[in-house]
Chains A and B, each alone.
Chain A
Amino acid sequence: QKEVEQNSGPLSVPEGAIASLNCTYSDRVSQSFFWYRQYSGKSPELIMSIYSNGDKEDGRFTAQLNKASQYVSLLIRDSQPSDSATYLCAARNSGNTPLVFGKGTRLSVIA
């Protein structure tokens, strides 16, 4: 059974702080990893993708991947109240395979 695990939170951080979101996955053959943001009642939107070990930065977001530890994280710098949402971690194998989602971590950025 392929699983993606996340702490459900809520994670509360003050505005301007760094939010750190973590995720582990069980399927060692997973190739690609994704972070999605989902606002209540809305569809997920892609924030970051990563498939190589190390860090990948995009604006205020940094994704980190450690395949040996089967661990993925997302850092959000200078957190804003508009970042308050549920963050979903997802993994997939290569080819025509679906995304496997974690349950999501609810982030609350306090102004």
Chain B
Amino acid sequence: GAVVSQHPSRVICKSGTSVKIECRSLDFQATTMFWYRQFPKQSLMLMATSNEGSKATYEQGVEKDKFLINHASLTLSTLTVTSAHPEDSSFYICSARNRDRGQENYGYTFGSGTRLTVV
């Protein structure tokens, strides 16, 4: 089945540094990647939507200069948290839309998530 490989699974970084999270679709072409963030005991909140070769569309309240998204190919999307601060500590999850699966119930595959802790 469709697999999205997300790395790293866990990262601890110092305040002020940048962290890059990668999501790779292993056996399908991901035309669209959705990036979510989940705080403890909260639901998944959409941060941004990126289409291959285009600029990402950010949700209201999400700083595009802080959360840099690159979707340069159909198999790789990255999220870079720049100048990270403790309040950015969260669980980040990518979700890819499979171009080859047009059925409504099959279109999305989730990565395994990245636990970011900023100290």
Give bound CA distance, A98 to B94, whole Å.
Answer: 11
Q: Are B46 and A98 in contact (CB under 8 A)?
A: yes
Q: Are A43 and B111 in contact (CB under 8 A)?
A: yes
Q: What's the minimum C-beta distance from B88 to chain A, rounded to whole angstroms?
A: 18
Q: Are A43 and B43 in contact (CB under 8 A)?
A: no
**Known A-B contacts A44-B44, A101-B44, A103-B43; A32 and B111 likewise in contact (beta carbons under 8 Å):** no
Closest chain B residue to A102, Cβ basis? B43
The prevalent SS among residues of A at the interface is loop
B31, B95, B104, B110 pick with most chain A CB within 10 angstroms: B104
Q: What's the minimum C-beta distance from B69 to chain A, rounded to whole angstroms?
A: 13
Residues of A within 8 A of B31 (CB): 96
**Known A-B contacts A96-B32, A102-B43, A103-B42; A43 and B104 likewise in contact (beta carbons under 8 Å):** no
Q: Are B115 and A31 in contact (CB under 8 A)?
A: no
Q: Are B113 and A32 in contact (CB under 8 A)?
A: no
- Total interface residues on B, using CB and 8 Å? 25
Q: Are B105 and A34 in contact (CB under 8 A)?
A: yes
Residues of B within 8 A of A96 (CB): 31-32, 51, 97
Q: Quick one: CB contact mask for A93-111 with B, threshold 8 Å, 1 for yes?
A: 0101011111110000000
Q: Are B44 and A88 in contact (CB under 8 A)?
A: yes
Closest chain B residue to A41, Cβ basis? B115
Interface residues on A, range: 20 to 34
Q: What's the minimum C-beta distance from B62 to chain A, rounded to whole angstroms?
A: 13
Closest chain B residue to A99, Cβ basis? B108
Chain A residues 1 to 53 lying within 8 A of chain B, measured CB to CB, are 31-32, 34, 41-45, 49-51
Q: Quick one: CB contact mask for A64-99 with B, threshold 8 Å, 1 for yes?
A: 000000000000000000000000100010101011
Question: Top 9 nearest A-B pairs by Cβ distance?
Answer: A49-B105, A103-B43, A32-B104, A43-B113, A101-B44, A101-B43, A98-B34, A43-B110, A43-B112
Give A contacts to B, CB under 8 Å. 31-32, 34, 41-45, 49-51, 88, 92, 94, 96, 98-104
Other A-B pairs beyond A41-B91, A41-B113, 13, CB < 8 Å: A32-B104, A32-B105, A42-B113, A43-B112, A44-B44, A44-B93, A45-B110, A49-B104, A49-B106, A98-B46, A98-B49, A99-B46, A101-B45
